[in-house]
Amino acid sequence: MIGFDDIKVAAFNNPRLTTIRQPLSNMGRIAAQCVLNQLNGSERFRKQITVEPELVVRESTRAVDQGTQAGSAKKSKSTPKSGTGFAGTD
Q: In the predicted model, is pLDDT for residue 89 greater than 70? A: no
Q: Give pTM, 2 decimals.
A: 0.56
Secondary structure of 35-75 as H, E, C letters: HHHHHHCCCCCCCCCCCCCEEECCCCCCCCCHHHHHHHHHH
pLDDT for 86 equals: 36
The pLDDT value given to residue 2 = 87
pLDDT tens for 15-70 read 899 999 999 999 999 999 999 999 999 888 888 999 999 999 999 998 777 666 55
Domain count, the chain: 1
Residue 23 domain boundaries: 2-61
Helix (H, G, I), strand (E, B), or coil: what is residue 18?
A: strand
33: in domain = yes
Look at residue 73 and tell me if it is in a domain: no
Name the strand (E) or helix (H) holding 24. helix 24-40
Residue 72: its pLDDT value, please? 52
pLDDT of residue 57: 92
